[in-house]
Chains A and B, each alone.
Chain A
Amino acid sequence: MADIAVQHGIAGAYEPSLFGTYSKKIGMWLFLLSDTLTFGALLFAYSYGRISNPDWPTPFHKESIINATIMTGCLLSSSLTMVLGVLAARRGDRSWTRNWILFTMLFGSAFVVLHGMEWSKLIEEGMTPFKNPWAANVPQFGGTFFTLTGMHMLHVTIGVIYLGVVALRKKFLPILLVIWAIVFFATPADNVFHTGVHVLLIATAVAAVILFLKPKDYDAHDVEISGLYWHFVDLVWMFIFPLVYLMSTRVQG
C-alpha cells in the first residue's frame, strides 16, 4: 500500500490531518493509547488486590530491589539511545542511526535477561501464578505479578525485535533464529523460558512475512515511530517498578 495520498479530484476526501502530522505516527499514538488502557487495567487489577488484602506479600528484598533498579536504569538509558537514534535518522546519518538502535536493543535485551533472572529466582522460591510461599491466603499475588510483568516483558521483547527489523532488516532474521536456538537448548525443559522463547520463532515468522512481502528501506519516520513504541514500554515500567517492587519491599531479611 502506498504511503502517499493519491490525487483523485474529490474535494475533502484527503483533508489535512487534524493532528498536523503524518498518518503512521497518529496510528502508532492511537495504538499506544489503547495499550495504555490494557496496562492500566492490569495495574488497577494488581492495585485492587493489593488494597483489599492486608496480608499482601512483600517478597522483594535488597537483591530484588537492586536488580529492579538496574533494570530501570537499562530502560531509561535505552530511551536516551533511542532518541539519539531518531536524531541521527533525521540528520540522514544512517550509520549512527543503526548504531544507536543497536545500543537500544542491547539495553532492552539486558532488561529482559535481568527480568528473566528475577522471575527464575521467584519461581525457585516456590512462586507460581496460583500460589506463593509468603502468604498462602493471597494466591492472586503470583497471578497478578506474572501477568503484569510478563505482559511488559513481552512488550520489551517485541520492541527489541521491532528495532532489530528497522535497523538490520533481513539480516536480523538469522540472528533471531540463533538467539532462539541458544535459549531453547540452554534452558532446562521445565524452565518457563524454555517454552516462552518460542515467542521468538513466532516473531521471526511475522518479521519474515513483513520483510519479504513489503521490502523497504526504513526512513526517519519509521525510526521515529519505532522510537515511540520503545519509549512507551519505558513509560509503563515507570509505574510497574514503584507499584509492584517498591511498594512491596522487605527491609528485614
Chain B
Amino acid sequence: MHTVADTHDEGKGQYFWVWGALLLLTAVEVVLAYRQVFQPIRMLEALMILSVIKSALIIGWFMHLKYEIAAMKWVMMVAVCICLCLMCVFFADAFRIIHLGVK
C-alpha cells in the first residue's frame, strides 16, 4: 500500500528554491509586460512560456506529481493537454473575424 511518507525523501530546502524561482519568474513577467519589451504576439508567447514553466514547477514539486508513478503522470497530463489543445480550434475563427473586420 502506498503511503504518503514512504515514497520519497524530501527536504524543505527544495520547496524554498521552487518558491524563489516562481517569484523570480513572476518578476520577469511583470518587467516584460510593464516595459512592453515585445510586440503583443511575441509578448503573449513569452508570457505563456514563462507561465508553462511556472505550472510545471507547481505541478511537479508542490503537487508532488514528480514523485508519482509514470502511469499517473502520463495519463493525467497527456489527457488534459490534449483537451486544452483541442480548444485552440476556436482561435482560427477569432483571427478570421479580426481579418474580416466585422463590426
Check if B58 sits within 8 Å of A21, measured CB to CB. Answer: no
Q: Nearest residue in A to B77 (C-beta to C-beta)?
A: A33
Given contacts A48-B91, A51-B91, A65-B30, contact A235 B22 (CB under 8 A): no
Contact partner of B47 (CB less than 8 A), chosen from A41, A65, A242, is A242
State how many angstroms separate the Cβ of A59 from the closest Cβ of chain B.
14
Residue A29, interface by CB 8 Å: yes
Residue A83, interface by CB 8 Å: yes
Contact partner of B63 (CB less than 8 A), chosen from A49, A89, A228, is A228
What residues of chain B lie closer than 8 Å to A21, measured between beta carbons?
2, 68-69, 72
What residues of chain A lie closer than 8 Å to B69, measured between beta carbons?
19-21
Contact partner of A80 (CB less than 8 A), chosen from B15, B71, B75, B90, is B15
**Alpha-carbon distance A245/B90, docked complex (angstroms):** 22
Which size bracket describes the interface of A in this complex?
Answer: 35 or more
Check if B83 sits within 8 Å of A235, measured CB to CB. Answer: no
Check if B34 sits within 8 Å of A65, measured CB to CB. Answer: yes
**Alpha-carbon distance A239/B84, docked complex (angstroms):** 13
State how many angstroms separate the Cβ of B87 from the closest Cβ of chain A.
5
Check if A238 sits within 8 Å of B91, measured CB to CB. Answer: no
Binds B, one of A71-79, A123-131, A165-173, A181-189: A71-79
Check if B50 sits within 8 Å of A73, measured CB to CB. Answer: no
Number of interface residues of B (CB under 8 A): 53
What residues of chain A lie closer than 8 Å to B103, measured between beta carbons?
137
Contact bitstring B27-61, A, C-beta under 8 A = 1, else 0: 00110111010001001100110110011001101
What residues of chain A lie closer than 8 Å to B98, measured between beta carbons?
51-54
In chain B, positions 59-87 with a C-beta closer than 8 Å to chain A are 59, 61-64, 68-69, 71-72, 75-76, 79-80, 83-84, 87
Q: Nearest residue in B to A36 (C-beta to C-beta)?
A: B80
Contact partner of A40 (CB less than 8 A), chosen from B32, B75, B83, is B83
A-B contact pairs, 10 of them (CB 8 A): A20-B68, A20-B69, A36-B83, A52-B97, A76-B26, A77-B19, A79-B22, A235-B59, A242-B33, A242-B51
What residues of chain B have their CB less than 8 Å away from a CB belonging to chain A? 1-2, 4-5, 10, 12, 15-16, 19, 22-23, 26, 29-30, 32-34, 36, 40, 43-44, 47-48, 50-51, 54-55, 58-59, 61-64, 68-69, 71-72, 75-76, 79-80, 83-84, 87-88, 90-91, 93-95, 97-98, 103
With A21-B72, A231-B62, A235-B58 already in contact, 18 other A-B pairs whose C-beta atoms are closer than 8 Å: A20-B71, A29-B72, A37-B80, A51-B94, A65-B30, A73-B23, A76-B23, A80-B16, A82-B62, A83-B15, A84-B12, A232-B63, A235-B55, A241-B29, A242-B50, A246-B29, A249-B34, A249-B36
